[in-house]
Amino acid sequence: MTRAEAKERNRRALLDAALEVVSRDGYRARLDEIVARAGLTTGAVYSLFGSKNGLVVALADEHLRPHYEEIGQTVPAGLGLLEAVDAFARHYRRRLDAPDARSALSLQITLLDMALHDPELGARLATSVREQEDQLVALFTGRPHPGGTVTPHQARHLTTALRALLTGLAQGVPLGLAPDADEEFFAAAARALASGVMSRLIWGSRPPLTCGTST
């Protein structure tokens, strides 16, 4: 085994062990138990991740990255803004039917709880989420809509709003709080939100004026 292969093996062992311990214990997860499960020492954590929090952030990245990469493949480049938002929301809803959906939601809630107990970890996780969301910002930027073309600034606001909406719905579905929230529900809610966000960003609090003739 080469040095690079050994490094990747250790990295993988620590991430797998962290997933088990963090999923069970949350912010009470102990580094010594993580490294014991991985068959390594704390030195390996500091060498590969810098700290326990670095390991947790890497764990979050590993579970976020495939999700955002899938989105880029699901939403075609030629769609207008609302059509792209529709496709994104439908993909988000379909993921809730995947075999690992409940475990993914459990980890998401656990990481949020850890962030609330550790401000330094919370700041690092927030940075990680924003970096992943940059892919969504790029995905929506430049798409046509009734007010023109989506700017990066508008895409950032829209991405933040969509994440809040879809995350809330996604948490409600497995808990039975949104039993009728099927794919069409997700898509309709996302389109309505996108329309409202874009209108406010373009015209402020007032709706656009329409021109006509008076008699």
pLDDT of res. 207: 46
Which pLDDT does position 172 carry in this prediction?
Answer: 87
**What integer pLDDT is reported at residue 215 of this predicted model?**
37
Q: How far apart are CA 195 and CA 200, in angstroms?
A: 9
Residue 141 contacts residue 155 (beta carbons within 8 Å): yes
Residue 1 has pLDDT above 90, yes or no: no
Rounded CA gap, 52 and 147, in Å? 47
The residue among 12, 182, 174 whose CA lies nearest residue 109 is: 174
Asked if 94 and 183 touch (Cβ cutoff 8 Å), the reply is yes
Residue 66's nearest CA partner among 95, 39, 97 is: 95
**In the prediction, which pLDDT does 213 show?**
40
Interatomic CA distance for residues 95 and 70, integer angstroms: 10
Are the C-beta atoms of 62 and 125 separated by less than 8 Å?
no
What one-character DSSP code corresponds to residue 75?
S
Q: Would you say 135 and 159 are in contact if contact means Cβ atoms under 8 Å apart?
A: no
Burial tier of 5 (Cβ tally within 10 Å: 0-12, 13-18, 19+): exposed
Q: Count helices and strands (H / E) in the chain.
A: 9, 2
pLDDT higher than 70, residue 214: no
| pLDDT for the residue 60 | 93
- Give residue 173's pLDDT band: very low, low, confident or very high (50, 70, 90): confident
Strand partners, 145: 148
CA distance 193 to 162: 7
Q: What global pTM score does this model have?
A: 0.82
Rounded to the nearest integer, the mean pLDDT of the chain is 89
Average pLDDT over residues 68-93: 91
Please report the beta strands in the chain, taking only residues with DSSP state E, as ranges in sequence order. 144-145, 148-149
